[in-house]
Amino acid sequence: MPLVYTDTSVLFAYLHPDDEFSGVVDAAVQKDSPDFVYWVFLRHELRHNLRQSRTNRHGEAAWRALRAAEKTSTRLRWQGELTADKLLDLAENLSAELAGDFDCGSSDYLHVSAARRVNLLSGLDAFWTCDVAQAKLARSIGLKTRLFV
């Protein structure tokens, strides 16, 4: 299975059937059957947004799918090495280097730094995002990036 770092925008779209990117992301997953990197910040951002969507149409189905995926050791591949303090330092370094060049928010630097770290440690097949500015940042540091539009 290819190992893919998905920005939270992609994982949310995959899990929530009403999301604007849901169809294109699902088609990509059905084609490539990847496993996804999962770590503490991505988990928080994803759970937070899914919790807030639980009351809308199909929100409960999305939440149940997430909980089922979290029980696996492969579909969402937990990265214990990606700790919050370490990644905040790496994101800070990346921001110091590139903040003037890319119009991204702080969490974008955090995700791209995490993907770069996984790529260095164990190899990453791709970085997927629905965020245009984040995709530019990821490409600039050499990550093989797929942008969903």
Residues that bind another protein (CB under 8 A): 1, 7-9, 12-23, 26, 29-30, 33, 45, 49, 52-53, 56-58, 61-62, 64-65, 68-69, 72-75, 103, 105, 107-108, 130-131
The residue (of 9 and 145) whose beta carbon lies closer to another protein is: 9
- Give burial (CB, 10 Å; 0-12/13-18/19+) of 12: buried
Which residue, 17 or 92, is less far from another protein as judged by CB? 17
In whole angstroms, how close is the CB of 56 to another protein at the nearest point? Answer: 7
Q: 45 or 82: whose CB is closer to another protein?
A: 45
Q: What is the DSSP letter of 36?
A: E
Which is nearest to 6 in space by CA: 141, 131, 120, 106? 131
Cβ–Cβ under 8 Å, residues 39 and 78: yes
